[in-house]
Amino acid sequence: MKKPIIGIIGSISYETEGIMLGHEKIHLNKAYVDSVVKAGGIPVILPIVSDEDLIKQQVESVEGIIVSGGQDIDSLLYNEEPIEKQGYITPERDIYDISVVKYAHQLKRPILGICRGIQALNVAFGGTLYQDISQIPGSYIKHSQKARPDFPTHTIEIKKETILFDILGSTTTVNSFHHQAVKDVAPGFRISAISKDGVIEAIEMEKEDFIVGVQWHPELMASKGNEDMLKIFQKLLYYASKL
Ligand SMILES: [Mn+2]
C-alpha cells in the first residue's frame, strides 16, 4: 500500500502572554501526527485559510482528512443563541472546517472527525449540538475526565452494521474530553456509538466508505500504543490509499 497523505486541520489560537500578545497561531497536538505515522500515512497540517479556491486545492492535495479537536463551534451556525455554558469559539476555524468537509465529501476523500471534529461534521451537514452536556436529559457520566489523556474512562456501545462496529466490535472504553455533544444528527448520517447515559459518541455518513466522527480522542490512545484505536486511523488510511 502506498503511503497516503493525510491532511490534519490545525487549530487557531492567540498568544495570551509575552510581547506578541494577541498574535495568531496555527497549531496541532502531536498525537494526531504520531497516530497517522504509526498507521502508515504521511501527515500534513492544513492551516486555516479563507480563500475558497485555495481550500478546495488544499483538499485536492491530500488523500484523507482529519478534523482535529479544538474549541466550541459558534451556536449561531446551527441556529441557536449561545447559552451561558458555551465555551470559547473560533469563528475562522468554524468556517474553515465546514468548507473542508464539504469539499472533502465532494471529492470523495475519507474523513475522520475527532471531538470538535464530530461536531463540525454534524453542523456542516445540517445537524445541531448540545451546547453543554448538562442540557442532555439523563446524562450522568463524567465526560471531562480527570485522568491521563490516553486512559479510557467510560464505556461506549457500538451499533451493529456500522463502520465503527467493523473496527471495534460491540463495545469498548474511551477517553473523554468534551462538554458538548451531537444533538440532532445531520440528515444522511447515522449514530454509530453512544455512552451508557445516551450521549452520542460517534456518527457516520450513510452510503459513504468512510466519513466518521468520534467524540473521544483516539489519537491520544493510539499514539500511546492502543492497537484498537490505531485501527481507526488504519481504516481512514485504507480508504485514502485507494484514491
Ligand atoms: Mn464522552
115 catalytic, yes or no?
Answer: yes
217 catalytic, yes or no?
Answer: yes
How high is the pLDDT of residue 56?
98
Q: What is the DSSP pairing of strand 171-174 with strand 111-114?
A: unpaired
201 catalytic, yes or no?
Answer: no
Answer for the pair 35, 68: CB distance below 8 angstroms, yes or no.
no
Total domain count, the chain: 1
Q: Ligand 1 mean position to 9 CA, how many Å? A: 22
pLDDT tens over the chain, length 243 residues: 689 999 999 998 888 888 999 899 999 999 999 999 999 999 999 999 999 999 999 999 999 999 999 999 999 999 999 999 999 999 999 999 999 999 999 999 999 999 999 999 999 999 999 999 999 999 999 999 999 999 999 999 999 999 999 999 999 999 999 999 999 999 999 999 999 999 999 999 999 999 999 999 999 999 999 999 999 999 999 999 998
How high is the pLDDT of residue 16?
87
How high is the pLDDT of residue 1?
66
Of 115, 154, 178, 204, which residue is the catalytic one?
Answer: 115
How high is the pLDDT of residue 2?
85
Q: Ligand 1 mean position to 83 CA, how many Å? A: 21
Q: Any idea what the CATH number is for the domain that residue 110 is in?
A: 3.40.50.880
Of 143, 154, 178, 217, which residue is the catalytic one?
Answer: 217
Residues of the domain holding 198: 5-241
- Burial bucket for residue 25 (CB in 10 Å: 0-12, 13-18, 19+): exposed
Q: Ligand 1 mean position to 162 CA, how many Å? A: 19
Q: DSSP label at 147?
A: S
Q: Which residues of 212-234 are buried (b: 16+ CB within 10 A; e: fewer)?
A: bbbbbbbbbbbbeebebbbbbbb
Q: What is the DSSP pairing of strand 111-114 with strand 154-158?
A: unpaired
